[in-house]
């Protein structure tokens, strides 16, 4: 009797995985070029480009997920090479979708003139002598006539150093891409510690949002991500001073990483918070001549973005649309947020803060705090959620993948106006899709018939002898799956 054996993906060879990645990578490069073309000539629109890149990105992830061991020494170079090419394509054209990077370069130029960047708005007559040699920066800045700079002192220090080399937008964007390189380096170190393949950096390197927002628009969040990843790395290595140093630098670049403190702190450790405090004092000291103006446009930004009135927060807006709940106030919502974060901090404290806590126990609470901040404060700009992507590499999950890719795509559609009924509809679609993704993920975890596939698809850990024998090669990969991995999928 002849038995017909159905071929499985497991029987495929690494070269086939690599061939698929090359095809998808060429598509990513092509659509990155199309993005630049859309700046001048409408063809398929930004939403057409973003949706195409998301599909290619997800397809590449699926190829890798189906058999993570089907890699060889060429797989990672292929992933990195296409990531670099995409970023080079987006790097040199002038930013089109955001003008924030012009303010970064301007703040650096102002400091080179020995002027505190927090003292004057760019349109102030006392800075007129800087305009002519930097006309491109001045002409393209947003809020130049009424907003003092909002960026904290670590960011200002980096603006000074970057513009010392070249006070141009292109070089500022290049610096943000170089910080991405540091992020990937830190992720690879963490993946090695966690016994995971370096090829999981695919989730970061090919994420279209990062190509658009860092190589294309040069957003500062690239620096934040690098500092956060190194804080995670040194927390894993139990080096509290370095953990505090890099978390402090992240907070002094943009304030929101402060939410990670409860998950990265270990009970009884005074070195980590003391280092953070020292970083804040040392970085703020050179700018304190302006007094409270050192916080710049922060208060104005809170008002401008609707944080003071509550119009910014989609969960509050959603509740107010429910029958009988129209009168729920912003203060009630903020009280709810405090309760949620109190619960998350207790969870983080119990999980991570014990002196005997070790290994990667802090990663899920850290991820949870970062995700909760984004969901509860519902940013309208995709680069605000970019810092979730490194967590996605370390702890892949469908829910956050949907949130990141969904916000990225929807922000390229006609719904992305930042306020009013269109923005409310955008968030309804986004949060609804995230809820569906979460339910699907729960099914994958709990239904035995599906859980088997999900278990095979989670990041596989390598035995130490496999790592020593040749990390990243198909022959050296020895896979083992445990129940804890299934829960982490």
Asked, for residue 205, whether it belongs to a domain, the answer is: yes
Sequence-separated (6 or more) residues with CB below 8 Å from residue 393:
187, 191, 200, 201, 203, 204
Q: Which alpha helices (H) appear in 285-419, and where do they start and end? A: 298-304, 314-320, 330-352, 363-377, 388-394, 398-410
User: How many residues are present in the chain?
Assistant: 489
Angle among Cα 452, 455, 459 to the nearest 5 degrees reads 160
CA distances from 311 to 321, 384, 422 (A): 12, 18, 13
In order along its 489 residues, the chain shows pLDDT tens digits of 444 444 454 456 888 889 999 999 999 999 999 999 999 999 999 999 999 999 999 999 998 887 777 888 999 999 999 999 999 999 999 999 999 999 999 999 999 999 999 999 999 999 999 999 999 999 999 999 999 999 999 999 999 999 999 999 999 999 999 999 999 999 999 999 999 999 999 999 999 999 999 999 999 999 999 999 999 999 999 999 999 999 999 999 999 999 999 999 988 889 999 999 999 999 999 999 999 888 887 887 777 777 777 788 999 999 999 998 988 999 999 999 999 999 999 988 888 765 455 578 899 999 999 999 999 999 989 999 999 999 999 999 999 999 999 999 999 999 998 888 999 999 999 999 999 999 998 888 776 655 554 444 455 444 433 333 333 333 333 333 333 333 333
Helix (H, G, I), strand (E, B) or coil at 32: helix
User: Does a structural domain hold residue 117?
Assistant: no
Structural domain boundaries enclosing 285: 10-97+169-293+305-487
Tell me the H-state helices in 149-297: 153-165, 169-194, 202-205, 208-210, 221-236, 240-251, 261-264, 271-284
The SS3 of residue 479 is: strand
| Secondary structure class of 155 (helix, strand, coil) | helix
Write the CA distances from 435 to 379, 403, 444, integer angstroms. Answer: 17, 9, 14
Is residue 320 assigned to a domain?
Answer: yes
> Quick check: is 448 in a domain?
yes
> Would 67 be classed as within a structural domain?
yes
Question: How far is it, in rounded angstroms, from Cα 383 to Cα 385?
Answer: 5
Contact 322, 234 (CB under 8 A): no
Number of domains in the chain: 1
* Cβ proximity of 109 and 138 under 8 Å: no
- Looking at residue 266, its pLDDT comes to 87
Is the alpha carbon torsion for 215, 218, 221, 227 positive or negative?
Answer: positive
Q: Tell me, yes or no, whether 178 lies in a domain.
A: yes
Buried b (16+ CB within 10 A) or exposed e, 288-318: eeeeebbebbeeeeeeebbeeebbbbbbbbe
Whether 119 maps to a domain, the answer reads no
Question: Which residue in the block uniquely carries the two structure tokens 């890699």?
Answer: 71
In a domain, 192, yes or no: yes
Residue 153: its pLDDT value, please?
96
Run of H or E residues at 450: helix 448-457
């Amino acid at each position: 009797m002849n038995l017909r054996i159905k071929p499985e993906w497991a029987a495929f060879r690494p070269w086939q995985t690599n061939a698929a990645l090359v095809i998808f990578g060429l598509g990513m490069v092509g659509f990155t070029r199309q993005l630049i073309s859309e700046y001048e000539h409408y063809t398929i629109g930004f939403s057409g480009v973003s949706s195409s890149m998301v599909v290619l990105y997800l397809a590449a992830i699926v190829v890798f997920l189906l058999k993570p061991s089907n890699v060889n020494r060429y797989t990672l170079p292929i992933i990195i090479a296409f990531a670099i090419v995409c970023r080079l394509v987006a790097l040199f054209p002038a930013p089109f979708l955001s003008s924030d990077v012009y303010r970064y370069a301007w703040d650096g130029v102002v400091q080179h003139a020995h002027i505190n960047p927090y003292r004057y708005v760019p349109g102030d007559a006392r800075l007129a002598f800087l305009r002519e040699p930097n006309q491109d920066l001045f002409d393209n800045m947003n809020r130049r006539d009424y907003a003092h700079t909002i960026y904290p002192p670590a960011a200002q220090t980096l603006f000074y150093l970057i513009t010392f080399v070249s006070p141009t937008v292109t070089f500022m964007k290049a610096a943000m891409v170089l910080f991405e390189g540091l992020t990937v380096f830190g992720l690879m170190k963490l993946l090695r510690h966690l016994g995971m393949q370096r090829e999981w950096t695919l989730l970061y390197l090919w994420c279209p949002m990062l190509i658009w927002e860092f190589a294309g628009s040069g957003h500062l969040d690239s620096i934040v991500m690098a500092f956060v990843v190194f804080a995670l790395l040194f927390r894993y290595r139990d080096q509290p001073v370095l953990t505090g140093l890099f978390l402090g630098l992240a907070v002094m670049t943009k304030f929101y990483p402060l939410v990670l403190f409860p998950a990265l702190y270990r009970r009884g450790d005074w070195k980590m918070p003391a280092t953070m405090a020292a970083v804040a004092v040392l970085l703020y000291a050179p700018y304190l001549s302006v007094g409270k103006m050192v916080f710049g446009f922060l208060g104005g930004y809170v008002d401008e973005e609707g944080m003071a009135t509550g119009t910014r927060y989609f969960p509050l807006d959603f509740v107010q649309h429910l029958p009988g709940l129209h009168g729920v106030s912003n203060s009630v919502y903020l009280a709810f947020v405090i309760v949620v974060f109190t619960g998350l901090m207790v969870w983080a404290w119990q999980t991570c803060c014990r002196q005997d806590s070790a290994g990667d126990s802090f990663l899920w609470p850290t991820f949870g705090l970062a995700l909760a901040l984004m969901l509860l404060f519902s940013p309208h700009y995709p680069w605000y959620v970019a810092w979730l992507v490194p967590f996605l590499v370390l702890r892949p999950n469908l829910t956050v993948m949907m949130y990141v890719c969904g916000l990225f795509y929807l922000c390229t559609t006609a719904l992305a106006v930042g306020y009013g009924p269109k923005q409310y509809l955008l968030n309804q679609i986004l949060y609804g899709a995230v809820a569906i993704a979460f339910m699907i993920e729960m099914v994958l975890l709990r239904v035995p018939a599906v859980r088997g596939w999900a278990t095979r698809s989670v990041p596989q850990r390598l035995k130490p002898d496999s790592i020593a024998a040749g990390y990243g090669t198909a022959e050296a990969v020895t896979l083992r799956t445990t129940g804890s991995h299934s829960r982490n999928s």
